[in-house]
Amino acid sequence: MASTEAAAYYPRVLRIGEILRRSRMASAGLTLGAVLVALAAFAPLVATADPTAMDFNAPFARPGLAHPFGADNFGRDVFSRVLFGYRTSLLVAAGSVGLALLFGTPLGLVAGFVGGITDHVIMRPMDALMAFPAILLTVSFAGVVGASTGVLIVVIAVVYLPIIARTMRASTLAVRAEPFVEGARSRGASPLRLMARHVVPNAMDPVLIQASVLMGIAILIEAALSFIGLGTQPPHPSLGLMLADGRDIMRDAPWVVIFPGLAIVLAVLSFNLVADGLRDVLDPRGALR
């Protein structure tokens, strides 16, 4: 389907609408994600109680009207804590992926578009970065700088940066080889215009899919690291922390570990659904993986 016209550029907004229509998975994922984001954003309004408030009248309360998800040994409402925990999770996810996209996309674009020495100069450090196991980086950073949500965001962003850059570069290379780009170039388009108008809109697809997946993974990383104490520190809310705390009392109050975990699963699931749905529509043959 070779076309020398700039046939592939049309407004992103329209494409999103079409994608949603064509993939039930993506729609489901986006809906679920939107609900969760809304819950997190409006947590103070939706929460049934102050997440840090201890109520010694109701320790180990079973799930019910007063405490939809039950309460822990301090009488803290699990539902509210989950909602606020979501804030942290989504903040980490959006922050780390956002940072990685901000820096990784242009790097990959330039590396793929210009090629040659520039490509090498940009990508070698990326490859070196990718050689480091993420766990090692995270633990070391946390160890040196001190653990916190902010550190987590930066570290995950650093881990994700080369992944995004690589994906963008591969995608740029593929799009650049398309006939319509050559057609635009022969009509005298400047490199900047070529990049912005023709390459980026088409090369972004795999990057978006990747970003969705990475957001889910970021949530898992935040939970895992908080679980072992190297992530979000108390008293800041975190689903991982809740699970760590809950372990001791899970015999008596299993809901303290069940619900935070389910919350994590739902969030990650929504991102994976979106990614799978997008992949089905935009890249069914797996060509740009």
Vertex 144 angle, CA 138 and 149, to 5°: 55
Binding residue (CB under 8 A) for another protein from 58, 155, 181, 257? 257
DSSP labels for 52-114? T---TTSTTPPSSSSSTT-B-TT--BHHHHHHHHHHHHHHHHHHHHHHHHHHHHHHHHHHHHH
3-state helix, strand, coil in the chain (%, to 5): 75, 0, 25
Contact flag: residue 160 with another protein (CB under 8 A): no
Taking the least distance from each CB to another protein, the nearer of 113 and 246 is 246
Piece in contact with another protein (CB under 8 A), picked from 35-43, 46-54, 68-76, 217-225: 217-225
Phi, psi angle pair for 56, to nearest 5°: -75, 0
If you count them, how many residues does the chain have?
289
Contact flag: residue 269 with another protein (CB under 8 A): yes
In the complex, minimum distance from the CB of residue 135 to another protein, in angstroms, rounded to a whole number: 5
Piece in contact with another protein (CB under 8 A), picked from 51-59, 101-109, 183-191, 245-253: 245-253
User: Site residues for another protein, window 133-152 (CB under 8 A)?
Assistant: 133-135, 139-140, 143-144
User: Site residues for another protein, window 14-53 (CB under 8 A)?
Assistant: none
Q: Which of 192, 3, 221, 202 is nearest to 93 (CA)?
A: 221
* Chain residues in the site for another protein (CB under 8 A): 133-135, 139-140, 143-144, 216, 220, 223-224, 227-228, 243, 246-247, 250-251, 254, 257-258, 260-261, 264-265, 268-269, 272-273, 276, 285-286
